[in-house]
Amino acid sequence: MRYAETGFNLEVDLTRGNIERVATDPELTELYLGGLGTNAKILWDRVPPEVEPFSPDNLLIFSTGLLVGTPAPGCNRTIVSTISPQTLFMAYSMMGGFFSPELKHAGYDKVIFRGKSPNLVYLWINNDKVEIRDASHLQGKGAIETAELIRQELKEPKAQVAAIGLAGENRVYFASIEQGHSSASRGGIGAVMGDKGLKAIAVRGTEDVNIAQPDEFLNLCNEVLEYIKVREEKPIPGVMPILAGLGSPKEMTVHNEKWHTENFMWGNSRVRRKGFWNEEIENKWTESMENVRKRLISCYNCPMKCGAIISVPGISTYMMKCFSKLTYTMAAFSDLDFGFRIAQRATEYGVDGFSTPQVMAFAIELYEAGILTDKDFPGMPSDSEGRFYWLLDRIVRREGIGDVLANGTYWAAEQIGNGAQEYAHNNIKKHEQLPLKLSMLNPIYFLMYCTGEKANITQIEGNFPQAPFRTREEREEFVKDWIQVPDEKFKQYFLDWELRGENSIPYYPTVEMTCEIVDWQEKMHYIDDATGMCAGLSSFPLKPPYHIHNLPVFISSATGIDMDEAGLTQVAKRNRNLVRAVNIRRGMRRKDEKVPEDHWKKRFPELEKELLDAYYKFKGWNNEGIPTKESLHELSLDYVSEDFIQRGILTEDEETPSREILAEKEKK
């Protein structure tokens, strides 16, 4: 008997219309746990680097995490993986809601799609009955509308549906997959789904998930619930509202947005709204929130209520999550009323809430700079809000200039030329990042932005505070009950971290300590992404209920696998290096790992080089960011090094430069 997981994947060949239920190897669970780890192994094994994102040979994987469907609070994430049309690297996005637990209760750990359907279809999974159904009548329908129509058609109101909107059908590079109040949106995953002719997946599951040691596991779950109650009653003082408590993040309960409105460069704008926030605006935004928010809602088996049901006059009721309330608002320099309205349309279209506002703001900047002209925008309204609606409609339909913008700021700038590249300034690895632009370089965030391959900063930052506390007394109070640290030395790092002057070099105690902090935060995210844990209860907030000390016990009692902290750390390292290996094999190198020039007002090039050099060495990677043969061997990833050697990416003797490095030197 398999515990926590079902032991079966569903393989769907859309070209042939073939469906198979395939047993999985339990040894892979011990090596990679599940979720992102086993997704990466499948992509490595079955998608060679020559495969293009819109090739029939590209895979689209919907995966449950190892602990999804168990009683563990907050374990509900769907990990969707493919090759991105935007970055050309591996894309993986986490989706909350109820889809993943329903899939596991139907008897499957993953659904793996290959090929392309000649006609628009959707997949219906009803426990062991699975069929591909015609979706021609759903063409052009919104993502949320599609889900409701499918439930009505199936006469199954409890079915969970993940669907794309018009953006996915038209292969917009930042198209999302929508499900309830959550979405998988980074990296153009929805575009790959649309390219495969797959409109939606509907699933209904009523089977049990077995637990190896149920009594012990339930006791652990109750401990987490008790801790959550304590933390909710005792928010952390002195930090921004979304970090004071728990959640992913709980933007639908937060009213004070001074931090986000005045410190972030929302959209593609280089202008910050300094001094924007005042009592009048705060009252107006609070009124907007209270008027439209009908009730707070949670994902499967979670007490946090991070989303909300929204009812805007003149617009059908819908669900909203995370930062969607702000991204369109701030990109257009408008207010929350506008944000709520346009976000509903964007959700139905199925587009990423971070990239889309930036792409539209990028277009406006090019227009104001004269790089694009009136003939590129025939009939566009003159007001800011009208322009954003106009651009959104044309992008998702790929009409006119929208056909260019639909490929994201990097590719659009390359096509437009004439200096447009200077305005596509918030990309890392060809992908729009959260527009966080502050004054002083932050070394921890520098490394996370450069080397992270998740393309979503809120899913790589974590348990270490974002900024030093003002006084020693505040820092001493914070570390008193800081049990989540993997080692006591991290408490001292924080105690010694003081505010710096505007002109000082922003060192943490040492570069080595910075590397250790980033590695800890990254490790926790890779554990979450393997187990299906929401980052809002583990890797994202300060002092979460799940951490490196209790997660091994959760995994052991759920699965029967003998797991300790060292073993779990090794799994996280293995998964992280395998994701990197997929991208290295697709051409990613050090030259790709840089933040935009204007990301911080004050930059320190020598420190940045030192940080990247040190972090590569710390992670066991060579100077190009490629995992070394020795490091791969320690992680039981010898098959990766063998492939790298065969391709000339590594050599048998690592002191000898590889063929590609020698070729690069010859060019210079």
pLDDT digits (tens, 9 = 90+) for 337-365: 999 999 999 999 999 998 999 999 999 99
pLDDT-derived band at 304 (thresholds 50, 70, 90) equals very high
**Measured between alpha carbons, how far is 10 from 23 in angstroms, rounded to an integer?**
9
**Measured between alpha carbons, how far is 637 from 578 in angstroms, rounded to an integer?**
8
Specify whether 100 is located in the same domain as 161. yes
> In terms of DSSP bridges, do strands 18-23 and 8-13 run parallel, antiparallel, or are they unpaired?
antiparallel
**Measured between alpha carbons, how far is 278 from 626 in angstroms, rounded to an integer?**
49
Residue 436 has what pLDDT?
A: 66
Specify whether 303 is located in the same domain as 378. no
Rg over alpha carbons for the chain, rounded to the nearest Å, is 24
Assess if residue 398 is contained within a domain. Answer: yes
Q: Which of 68-82, 90-104, 125-139, 588-602 has the lowest mean pLDDT?
A: 588-602
Specify whether 185 is located in the same domain as 305. no
CB atoms within 10 A of CB 156: 16
Six-digit token string for 487 = 């080692």
Q: Which of 170-184, 448-462, 497-511, 531-545 has the lowest mean pLDDT?
A: 497-511
SS3 207: coil
Residue 499 has what pLDDT?
A: 79
Residue 457 has what pLDDT?
A: 63
Specify whether 37 is located in the same domain as 98. yes
CA atoms within 13 A on the CB side of 33: 34
Residue 508 has what pLDDT?
A: 65
How confident is the model over 56-85, as a mean pLDDT? 98
* CB 465 within 8 Å of CB 239: yes
Residue 266 has what pLDDT?
A: 61
CA 574 to each of CA 88, 207, 564: distance values in angstroms, whole numbers, following the listed order: 22, 31, 15
The yes-or-no verdict on residue 660 having pLDDT over 60 is no
Name the residue among 432, 553, 488 with its Cα closest to residue 174: 432
Residue 507 has what pLDDT?
A: 62
SS3 485: coil
Assess if residue 600 is contained within a domain. Answer: no
Assess if residue 648 is contained within a domain. Answer: yes
* CB 626 within 8 Å of CB 650: yes
Residue 259 has what pLDDT?
A: 78
Specify whether 284 is located in the same domain as 391. no
The yes-or-no verdict on residue 666 having pLDDT over 70 is no
**Measured between alpha carbons, how far is 107 from 172 in angstroms, rounded to an integer?**
32
Name the residue among 211, 205, 210, 330 with its Cα closest to residue 263: 330
* CB 395 within 8 Å of CB 405: yes
Q: DSSP of 127-193, one letter per residue?
A: TTEEEEEE-GGGTT--HHHHHHHHHHHHT-TT-EEEE--HHHHTT-TTB-EEETTEEE-TTSHHHHH
Specify whether 38 is located in the same domain as 158. yes
What total number of domains does the chain contain? 4
pLDDT, mean over the chain: 92
Strands (E), 379-480: 427-428, 431-432, 438-440
Tell me the residue type at 420.
Answer: A
Q: Which residues pair with 21 in a beta bridge?
A: 10
CATH code, 129: 3.60.9.10
Six-digit token string for 42 = 């499948």
SS3 94: strand
Buried b (16+ CB within 10 A) or exposed e, 533-550: bbbbbbbbbbbbbbbbeb
CATH code, 266: 1.10.569.10
pLDDT-derived band at 655 (thresholds 50, 70, 90) equals low
DSSP class of residue 501? -
Specify whether 176 is located in the same domain as 301. no
How confident is the model over 211-216, as a mean pLDDT? 98
Assess if residue 543 is contained within a domain. Answer: no
Assess if residue 137 is contained within a domain. Answer: yes
Six-digit token string for 211 = 């637990």
SS3 111: strand
Question: If you search the block for the tokens 């997704």, which residue do you land on?
Answer: 39
Domain boundary among 349, 380, 410: 349
Assess if residue 94 is contained within a domain. Answer: yes
Helical spans, DSSP H, in 277-383: 279-292, 324-331, 336-349, 355-368
Question: Is the entire prediction scored with pTM above 0.85?
Answer: yes
Specify whether 185 is located in the same domain as 320. no
Residue 659 has what pLDDT?
A: 54
**Measured between alpha carbons, how far is 265 from 423 in angstroms, rounded to an integer?**
13
Residue 410 has what pLDDT?
A: 96
Assess if residue 605 is contained within a domain. Answer: no
* CB 591 within 8 Å of CB 427: no
582-627 pLDDT, tens per residue?
999 999 999 999 988 877 878 889 999 999 999 999 999 999 999 9
Output the CA torsion sign for 580, 586, 587, 593.
Answer: negative
Bigger pLDDT: 619 vs 657 = 619
CA 332-334-340 angle, to 5 degrees, is 95
Assess if residue 234 is contained within a domain. Answer: no
DSSP class of residue 294? E
Specify whether 191 is located in the same domain as 270. no
**Measured between alpha carbons, how far is 551 from 524 in angstroms, rounded to an integer?**
10
Specify whether 378 is located in the same domain as 345. no
Specify whether 252 is located in the same domain as 375. no
The yes-or-no verdict on residue 169 having pLDDT over 60 is yes
Specify whether 375 is located in the same domain as 336. no
Helix%, strand%, coil% for the chain, nearest 5? 45, 15, 45
What residues contact residue 176 under an 8 Å CB cut-off, 6+ apart?
A: 143, 164, 167, 168, 183, 184, 185, 189, 190, 350, 351, 352, 353
Note down the domain range covering 641. 628-668
